Structure 1
C-alpha cells in the first residue's frame, strides 16, 4: 500500500513513528473529453485572458483576493517559509473523546496508520489503550500545507486517522432555505412512516451495496469494445518549418520591397518624312 505521509503520533511523552496510507479510493470511471470531429483529447491550457498568451509555471504566482479584482500577492518563498515553520511531521493528540459525540458532518477523509521503524510496541500500546477505554484521540496534523483536526481510532485491529472539519468550515444550518419550522402531519401519518422504517430496518452490511451506475457504464463500454466501436484520434499533419520559414521570408520581402514609381508613358517620335525625288 502506497505511503503518502511519514511522521509520528505523540501523546504525552509517548512518540510513535508511523506512516499514512489512503484508506479509501475513488472508483469513478474517468471519461476523457474529445473533439467530436476528430476524437482528439482536448487540451486545457493556462491562458491569460488579458494578454492572450499561454502561461508557463514560472509566469504564475499565488494571490489572495481581498476585494473584487484586487489581490495580495504571496511569493512561493514566503509560503515555503511559513510551511516549514508550522510543519513538524507530527500528529499531536491533544484530547481523548468518545467518537459518538462527533456528528458525521465533520468527517472528511480516512487514512490507515502503520508503524514505522521502531514503532511497533508503542503502536500496539496506543491501539490497546483506545480499545480498553473505548475512546478516540483528537489530534492536530498539518497535511498539504493545511492544519487539520483528526480523529485516531481503532478499525479492525488497525489505527485509523480520519480528518475532520473545523467548526467554522461547517456551514450554518440556519442558512438552509425553506426548512419548515413545525411538522404539520397527523399521528396516523407518523405511525405509518414509523412502521415503514421498522420494516426496512436491517443490519448494515456494506458489501451488499454496489454502485449500479458504474457497473452499467462499464458494461456499456465493454459492449462497445467487443463490437469494435472504439475510435482513434486523427493524427496531426506534420508541419515543416522550411515551408513556414520560406513563406515568412517571402512575405517579408514582399512587404519591404520598394514600390516602383510610375513613369509617364513616353511618346514615340515620328520618323522624319522622306524627301521627294526630283523629277
Structure 2
C-alpha cells in the first residue's frame, strides 16, 4: 500500500512513528474529452486572458484574493516556513471523546495509519487503549498545506485517521431553502411510516451494496468495445526527412535563382515617325 505521508502521533509523552495510507479509492468511471472531428484528446492549457499567451509553470505565482480583483502575492518559501513550523507538532492528540458525540456531517476522508520503524509497540498500545476505552482521539496535524482536524479510531485492528471539517467549514442547515416547519401529521401516517422503517431495518453490511450505475456503464463500454465501436485519434501528418530535404533544396534553389530582367521597350526614332505622318497625310 502506497505511503503518502510519514510522521508521528503524540499523546502525552508517548510518541509513535507512523505512515499514512489512503483508506478509500474512488471507483467512479472517468471519461476523457475528445475532439469530435479527429477523436484526439483535448489539451487544457493555462492561458493569460490579458496577454493572450500560454503561461508556463515557472511563470506562475500564488496569490490570495482578499477582495474582488485585489490580490496579495505569497511566496512559496514564506508558506514553506509556516508549514515547517506547524509540522513539527506532527499528529498531536489533544483530547479523547465518544464517537457518538461527533455528527457524521463533520467527517471528510479516511486514512490508514501503520507503525513506522520502531513504533510497533507504541502503536499497539494506542490501539488497545482506544478499543478498551471505547473512545476516539481528536488530533490536529498539518497535511497537504492545511491544518487538519482529525479523529483517530480503531477499524479492524488498524488505527484509522478520519479528517473532519472545522465548524466554520460546515454550512448552517438553517440556510437551506424551502425546508418545511413541523407540520401536523396524523397518528396513522406516522405509525405507517415507522412500520415501514421497522420492516426495512437490518444490520448494516456494506458487502451487500455495490455501485450498480458504475457496473452498468462499464458493461455498456465493454459492449461497445467488443462490437468494435472503438475510435482512435487521427495521427498528425508528419513530413518525412526526404520531403523536408526536398522542400529545403527547392526553397534554396528558388532563393538563389537569378531574377529575369525585363527588357525595356525600344524607342522609336523621331524621323521615321514624322515621315510616316507625312505619307499618311
Q: TM-score range by the shorter chain?
A: 0.7 to 0.9
**Which position in structure 2 is the counterpart of 1:220?**
220
Contact 2:83 2:142 in 1 (8 A): no
Q: TM-score, normalised by structure 1?
A: 0.87
**Does residue 189 of structure 1 match 2:189?**
yes
Once residues 211 and 271 of structure 2 are traced to their aligned partners in structure 1, the CA distance between those partners, rounded to angstroms, is 105
**Which position in structure 1 is the counterpart of 2:17?**
17
Which residues of 2 match residues 109-124 of structure 1 at below 5 A?
A: 109-124=109-124
Q: Structure 1 residue 59: deviation in Å?
A: 1.1
Once residues 118 and 97 of structure 2 are traced to their aligned partners in structure 1, the CA distance between those partners, rounded to angstroms, is 27
Q: Structure 1 residue 240: deviation in Å?
A: 8.3
- State the Cα deviation string for residues 127-179 of structure 1 (Å, max 9, x = none): 11111110111100110110011110111111111000011110111111111
Once residues 240 and 178 of structure 2 are traced to their aligned partners in structure 1, the CA distance between those partners, rounded to angstroms, is 64
- State the Cα deviation string for residues 93-145 of structure 1 (Å, max 9, x = none): 00010001000000001011111111111111111111111011110011011
Once residues 240 and 266 of structure 1 are traced to their aligned partners in structure 2, the CA distance between those partners, rounded to angstroms, is 51
Could you say what secondary structure the match of 1:140 adopts? strand
Contact 2:110 2:163 in 1 (8 A): yes
Contact 1:93 1:137 in 2 (8 A): yes
Q: Structure 1 residue 71: deviation in Å?
A: 0.8
Contact 1:7 1:89 in 2 (8 A): no
- State the Cα deviation string for residues 71-91 of structure 1 (Å, max 9, x = none): 111111212222122222611
**Which position in structure 1 is the counterpart of 2:279?**
none
Q: Structure 1 residue 26: deviation in Å?
A: 0.5
**Which position in structure 2 is the counterpart of 1:202?**
202
**Which position in structure 1 is the counterpart of 2:238?**
238
**Which position in structure 2 is the counterpart of 1:29?**
29
Q: How many residue pairs align between the two structures?
A: 259
**Which position in structure 1 is the counterpart of 2:90?**
90
Once residues 266 and 190 of structure 2 are traced to their aligned partners in structure 1, the CA distance between those partners, rounded to angstroms, is 112
Once residues 82 and 45 of structure 1 are traced to their aligned partners in structure 2, the CA distance between those partners, rounded to angstroms, is 31
CA RMSD, 1 decimal? 2.3
- Structure 2 portions without partners, runs of 5+: 256-263, 277-281
Contact 1:20 1:114 in 2 (8 A): yes
Q: Structure 1 residue 270: deviation in Å?
A: 3.3
